[in-house]
Amino acid sequence: SREWKRARFNQAWYPGETVIAGIGQGYWIVTPLQLGNAVATLAARGVPHTPHLLRAVQAASDDRPQVLPLAPDQASVIDRAANWQAVQRGMIEVVQAGTARAVGGDFPYPIAGKTGTAERYSRTDESWTSISASPIERHQVLFECFTPADDARIAVIVALEAGRSGASDAAPIARRILDTWLPGDQQRQRETLATSDGGGP
């Protein structure tokens, strides 16, 4: 923000800095957990959910575990549904026909995702190397996604400090996470369907 830059560097904020901050560059810094939370909020159509690690507590070994309640849902941070739909459509296109097209493959749910590659080059000379020809440890790369794209049940963020690109290095790891999650989700969906139908599988 203007205030942050003035306090930190005693410098003015330039319009171009707003543009690059909007695509995650410049002074913009985020942890994987913060980015994962942001992707989960986007996946939930703008409804933030408080991240948590503890599911239940157990006072003694012979006591029943007490499941902890989740924080209540908050209001959506998205003012216009059309904005969310535009971002969702773009993220689906990334997986269907864009940089992460190798990830969707035969996955049974549509995946919405976005690759990212923070390119690191030396500014001490005029040499320039394309991403594909760069050493594997050259860049910081990421892939974020959620699925099913229309009614998300999982959001994933993979961030690597060393990689060639988000598409070639981070996205395949995210796909393996989704493949591991999928059988349990399909089982839960079958159980939910059986319960709502009032019958067995």
Asked if 136 and 117 touch (Cβ cutoff 8 Å), the reply is: no
pLDDT band at 115 (very low <50, low <70, confident <90, very high): very high
Q: What is the CB-side half-sphere exposure of residue 47 using CA atoms within 13 A?
A: 9
Phi, then psi, of 28 in degrees rounded to 5: -70, 120
Peptide bond into 148 cis (omega under 30): yes
Domain ranges of the chain: 78-201
Residue 129 has pLDDT above 80, yes or no: no
Q: What is the pLDDT of residues 170-190, one digit of tens each?
A: 999 999 999 999 999 999 999
Please give the CATH superfamily to which domain 78-201 belongs: DD-peptidase/beta-lactamase superfamily (3.40.710.10)
pTM of the model: 0.80
**Residue 54 pLDDT more than 70?**
yes
Specify the pLDDT at position 201: 47
Residue 152 phi, psi (nearest 5)? -60, 140
pLDDT at position 127, please? 61
